[in-house]
C-alpha cells in the first residue's frame, strides 16, 4: 500500500483504521503515532490494548524500581512503552530495560528513537488479554536476544519469568523478582509489586475520607497522625 499523507497523532481508545492492514515495515513506520500504540509483525498492523490504571501503575513501578538500582551503578536504563523495530517486526513492550553498553544516545543529548530489542522485556496482562499470546511474545523476545522476559498478571498476582533454554518460573507472594544477571541487588518481591499499585498513603486518605462522613473528627485525627509521622521522618 502507498502512504501519501501522515495525519495528526491520535489519542483515543477506538481501534485504529490501520489494524489488520498489510504493508511493509517502512510503510508502518510512516504511520501516525496512536494510543494505544500500533505494532507490526508478519506484515500486518496490530494495536496494543488500552491500559487500565493498574496496568499503568505496574509499568511505572517496575521502570522506577529498575532505574533505582541501575542508574547509581551505571548498569543501564528502563523505559515504558518504547517501540523498537528490526526487519519485519515492530513491538512496544510495556517495560524495556537496556544494559548501559546497548543504550543509544543522540547529540543533545536525546535518546535514539529505536533502542533495539530490550535485555529485559516486560508485558503486563490487560483485562481480557490472552496470556498465551503474551507467552508467544516473550518467547520471541528471547529468540531475538533478550536475556529475560517477564509477564506480570494483576488478576493472579503472579509474575512469569522466561529465560533462554530454561523452564518458565512462576513467581508469587514473597518470591523475589530475580533479574540478578542484569540488575544485581534488585530485591522487589511479587507481593511488594502488587501492593504498591495503589500507594498506601492514598488508601489511608480514602479510608479517612470515608470515615469522616460518619465522624468528622476522624479526618482531623488521621491528618495529625500523618503530620507527626512526617515530622519524625524529617527529624530522623
Please, which residues have CB within 8 angstroms of residue 76's CB and are 6 or more apart in sequence? Answer: 70, 97, 98, 99, 100, 102, 103, 119, 182
Average pLDDT over residues 159-180: 98
pLDDT-derived band at 4, boundaries 50, 70, 90? very low
Tell me which of 214 and 134 has the higher pLDDT. 134
73-108: pLDDT as tens digits: 999 999 999 999 999 999 999 999 999 999 999 999
In 10 A of CB 95, how many CB atoms?
25
Q: Which of 33-42, 54-63, 89-98, 213-222 is the least confident region?
A: 213-222
The answer to whether 122 and 149 have CB atoms below 8 angstroms apart is yes
129-155: pLDDT as tens digits: 999 999 999 999 999 999 999 999 999
**73 backbone dihedrals φ, ψ, rounded to 5°:** -100, 5
% residues pLDDT > 70 (the chain): 85
Residue-level pLDDT at 5: 40
Residue-level pLDDT at 212: 86
**Closest alpha carbon to 154 in 192, 203, 194:** 194
Average pLDDT, the chain: 89
**Is residue 6 predicted with pLDDT exceeding 50?**
no
C-alpha cell at 178: 530475580
**Is residue 200 predicted with pLDDT exceeding 50?**
yes
**Is residue 228 predicted with pLDDT exceeding 80?**
no
**Is residue 166 predicted with pLDDT exceeding 80?**
yes
Residue-level pLDDT at 226: 59
**Is residue 199 predicted with pLDDT exceeding 80?**
yes
- Evaluated on CA atoms 146, 108, 40, 133, the torsion sign reads positive
SS3 211: helix
Amino acid at each position: 500500500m502507498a502512504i501519501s499523507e501522515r495525519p495528526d497523532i491520535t489519542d483515543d481508545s477506538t481501534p485504529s483504521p490501520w489494524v489488520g492492514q498489510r504493508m511493509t515495515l517502512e510503510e508502518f513506520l510512516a504511520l501516525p503515532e496512536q494510543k494505544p500504540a500500533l505494532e507490526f509483525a508478519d506484515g500486518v498492523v496490530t494495536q496494543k490494548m488500552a491500559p487500565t490504571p493498574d496496568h499503568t501503575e505496574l509499568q511505572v513501578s517496575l521502570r522506577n524500581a529498575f532505574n533505582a538500582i541501575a542508574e547509581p551503578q551505571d548498569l543501564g536504563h528502563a523505559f515504558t512503552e518504547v517501540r523498537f523495530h528490526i526487519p519485519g517486526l515492530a513491538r512496544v513492550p510495556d517495560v524495556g530495560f537496556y544494559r548501559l553498553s546497548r543504550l543509544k544516545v543522540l547529540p543533545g543529548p536525546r535518546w535514539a528513537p529505536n533502542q533495539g530489542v530490550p535485555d529485559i522485556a516486560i508485558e503486563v496482562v490487560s483485562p481480557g488479554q490472552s496470556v498465551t499470546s503474551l507467552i508467544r511474545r516473550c518467547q520471541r523476545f528471547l529468540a531475538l536476544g533478550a536475556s529475560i522476559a517477564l509477564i506480570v498478571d494483576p488478576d493472579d498476582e503472579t509474575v512469569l519469568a522466561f529465560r533462554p533454554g530454561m523452564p518458565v518460573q512462576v513467581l508469587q507472594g514473597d518470591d523475589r523478582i530475580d533479574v540478578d544477571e542484569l540488575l544485581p541487588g534488585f530485591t522487589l518481591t511479587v507481593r511488594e509489586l502488587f501492593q504498591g499499585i495503589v500507594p498506601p498513603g492514598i488508601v489511608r486518605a480514602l479510608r479517612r475520607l470515608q470515615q469522616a462522613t460518619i465522624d468528622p473528627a476522624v479526618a482531623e485525627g488521621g491528618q495529625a497522625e500523618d503530620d507527626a509521622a512526617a515530622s519524625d521522618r524529617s527529624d530522623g
